[in-house]
């Protein structure tokens, strides 16, 4: 965290703000005796280059300052790590930056008098920045319009540094330089599948080694899929012989009936147990959701974040995972969230690419074996290979012919009222953004896919993860958020990920001999909240009472379709089956409406919401 006036002389950022020093302990400032920067503050970590870190004894603030001296504008391109940095430059400007794929959040306010920047919004308010919430942003989030590509802010005059960008603040204003474009790494390397898997594994082991260097007692969030188990094997490769790795896996509520959407698995514990038997140095731990504790902690996290992150409704099981990591004495919870952007890509842009290039035999095998999709081959071809190439309005009309109830997916799956959706769509059209549900389709080429992945990584997740860290006192690190690994995989051809009738082919090749065969070849995806029907069903009356309170709120009563939400709760089905028209509105819209109400209550200081 750092604060600066353009005529600033260096001192502790916390003292400058009149805040306790503990606020700056995760991002210590360092005064720089020479060079282009007068002071630097970095939060997160810098992994390399190794010789640069060795030169400054591993001090990341001095390493960043030295990188600015040595490489200037290209400093961030030369560094690896996941960090947010602020530097007071000799010319009086302030330079703010974040690494490209994963980084702590960095919010800032800049005017002619001062710059204030912090990973925590509440510290900007403590510094005297006015808190004027953009309520329209809540509606946008509820409608799944995440304003991808914008320099986004939740409050008037406060913005957030995008991933892979530098923001330069000066008395005459601020400018954003987006220096990172993942499509620059689309070199289409021609390598044999086994060679690609070997190189990707080598890079994953590098990432594991770097993660272990910064943790005395790590734990790993372990699933029954491919991503985190492969990370686990890389960590075991790098751990000293005779040591074990604690892993934590969440299980659904024991009362869950075990019925989920096609192509998904709601209980991953049997696969994890089998995997652990294959690797005796893994010490598996299993946790159950604590709905009451999660609900209370969500409010505390919203209070800490001071912004609305609807994705918080998706990650309830991670409360139990973080709590277990804390109870085990772990200082770091390791995850593998960005594997889907690197070695575990499913390659679904191939549906259009193979059709466009006339690779019909390859395309036919992929469509025939597509997980969880029981449609005829012709329907899959039309939906996945032809429709993405049509204009969006035509796609919408064709979908509505087949699925009339899905004519308006935003209205079907999100909680805003019809009027609020119409107003939000008009604002989105003026900005040039769209709801994720307004025209859901897979990217039609590799460049679109990697750019979509990069934009999707740059949301409120960083703030959510920081709030988890603060709530449970455990750091989080994504082993797979390693730039050399991600960029190597971007450079591989489509066939490396989707060919021979198999998706996620690279990950499956990497898993050969490392994962049980049933797990390596399995095609089901984990469903994080498989027991949603049970959880929401038990809280129906509580939620209906909350909706009644929301009716009297000027914003919530106007923006939310409370009558519809109440009807969804009142007419509760006996069980869930993954049906889009019946189940998905209940699974998606209801928790987000409740979460939005809790956020508004936190911001407005109301205990009744």
User: Strands of 37-48's sheet, edge to edge?
Assistant: 29-31, 37-48, 80-89, 94-98, 165-170, 173-178
In this prediction, residue 552 carries a pLDDT of 95
In this prediction, residue 31 carries a pLDDT of 62
**Rounded to the nearest 5 degrees, what angle is found at the Cα of 296, between the Cα atoms of 295 and 302?**
90
In sequence order, the β-bridge partners of residue 566 are none
Q: 342 to each of 47, 100, 195, 243, 489, how far by Cα in Å?
A: 19, 14, 16, 28, 5
In this prediction, residue 406 carries a pLDDT of 83
Cβ atoms of 133 and 144 closer than 8 Å: no
Cβ atoms of 160 and 153 closer than 8 Å: yes
- Out of 2.60.40.1930, 3.30.450.20, 3.40.440.10, 3.60.20.10, which CATH number does the structure's domain 2-179 have? 3.60.20.10
CATH number of 184-344+459-482+506-526: 3.40.50.620
Structure tokens at 253: 């509520």
d(CA 318, CA 194): 35
Residue-wise DSSP of 381-441 = HIIIIIGGGS-HHHHHHHHHHH-GGGSSHHHHHS-B-HHHHHHHHHHHHHHT---TTTS--
Domain range list for the chain: 2-179, 184-344+459-482+506-526, 409-432+531-609
In this prediction, residue 105 carries a pLDDT of 95
Burial class (CB in 10 A: 0-12, 13-18, 19+), 401: exposed
Structure tokens at 88: 């007071």
In this prediction, residue 505 carries a pLDDT of 96
d(CA 189, CA 488): 9
Average pLDDT per 10 consecutive residues for the chain, totaling 609 residues: 41 36 48 79 93 91 93 96 93 93 95 88 91 95 90 92 95 93 90 94 98 96 97 97 96 83 84 97 93 77 93 87 96 96 95 95 95 91 92 85 86 95 92 85 89 92 94 96 97 95 96 97 84 90 96 97 97 86 93 95 91
Instruction: Let me know how many helices (H) and strands (E) the chain has, helices first.
Output: 28, 19
Give the number of other Cβ atoms within 10 Å of residue 567's Cβ: 10
Among candidate residues 181, 509, 519, 482, the one with its CA nearest the CA of residue 341: 482
């Amino acid at each position: 965290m750092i604060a600066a006036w353009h005529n600033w002389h260096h001192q502790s950022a916390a003292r400058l703000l009149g805040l306790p020093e503990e606020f700056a302990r995760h991002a210590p400032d360092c005064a720089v005796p020479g060079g282009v920067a007068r002071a630097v503050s970095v939060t997160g970590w810098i992994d390399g280059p190794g010789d640069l870190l060795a030169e400054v004894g591993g001090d990341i603030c001095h390493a960043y300052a030295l990188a600015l001296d040595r490489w200037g504008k290209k400093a961030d391109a030369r560094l690896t790590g996941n960090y947010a940095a602020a530097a007071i430059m000799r010319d009086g400007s302030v330079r703010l930056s974040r690494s490209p794929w994963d980084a702590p959040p960095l919010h800032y306010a800049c005017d002619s008098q001062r710059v204030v920047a912090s990973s925590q919004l509440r510290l900007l308010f403590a510094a005297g920045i006015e808190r004027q919430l953009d309520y329209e942003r809540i509606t946008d989030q509820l409608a799944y319009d995440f304003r991808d590509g914008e320099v986004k802010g939740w409050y008037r005059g406060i913005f957030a540094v995008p991933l892979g960008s530098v923001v330069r603040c000066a008395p005459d204003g601020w400018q954003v330089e987006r220096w990172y474009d993942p499509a620059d790494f689309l070199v289409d390397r021609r390598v044999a599948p086994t060679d690609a898997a070997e190189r990707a594994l080598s890079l994953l082991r590098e990432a594991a080694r770097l993660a272990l260097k910064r943790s005395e007692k790590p734990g790993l969030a372990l699933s029954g899929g491919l991503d985190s188990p492969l990370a686990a094997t890389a960590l075991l490769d790098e751990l000293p012989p005779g040591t074990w790795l604690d892993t934590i896996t969440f299980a659904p509520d024991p009362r869950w009936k075990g019925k989920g959407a096609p192509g998904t698995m709601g209980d991953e514990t049997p696969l994890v147990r089998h995997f652990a038997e294959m690797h005796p140095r893994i010490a598996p731990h299993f946790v159950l959701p604590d709905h009451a504790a999660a609900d209370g902690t969500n409010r505390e996290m919203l209070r800490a974040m001071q912004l609305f992150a609807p994705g918080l409704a998706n990650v309830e099981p991670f409360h139990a995972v973080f709590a277990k990591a804390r109870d085990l004495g772990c200082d770091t919870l390791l995850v593998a969230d960005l594997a889907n952007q690197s070695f575990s890509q499913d390659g679904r842009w191939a549906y259009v690419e193979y059709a466009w290039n006339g690779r019909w035999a390859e395309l036919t095998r992929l469509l025939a074996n597509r997980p969880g999709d029981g449609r005829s081959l012709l329907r899959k071809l039309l939906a996945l290979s032809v429709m993405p190439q049509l204009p969006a309005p035509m796609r919408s009309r064709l979908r509505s012919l087949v699925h009339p109830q899905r004519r308006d997916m935003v209205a079907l799956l999100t909680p805003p009222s019809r009027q609020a959706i119409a107003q939000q769509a008009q604002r989105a059209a003026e900005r040039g953004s769209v709801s994720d549900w307004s025209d859901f389709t897979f990217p039609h080429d590799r460049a679109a896919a990697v750019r979509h992945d990069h934009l999707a990584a740059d949301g409120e997740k960083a703030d959510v993860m920081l709030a988890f860290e603060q709530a449970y006192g455990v750091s989080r690190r994504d082993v797979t958020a390693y730039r050399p690994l991600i960029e190597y995989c971007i450079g591989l051809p489509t066939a490396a990920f989707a060919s021979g009738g198999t998706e996620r082919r690279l990950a499956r090749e990497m898993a050969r001999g490392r994962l049980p065969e049933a797990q390596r070849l399995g095609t089901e995806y984990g469903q994080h909240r498989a027991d949603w029907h049970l959880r929401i069903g038990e809280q129906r009356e509580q939620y209906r009472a909350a909706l009644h309170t929301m009716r009297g709120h000027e914003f919530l009563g106007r923006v939310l379709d409370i009558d519809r939400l109440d009807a969804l709760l009142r007419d509760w089905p006996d069980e869930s089956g993954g049906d889009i028209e019946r189940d998905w509105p209940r699974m998606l819209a209801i928790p987000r409406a409740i979460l939005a109400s809790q956020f508004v209550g936190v911001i407005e200081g109301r205990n009744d919401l």
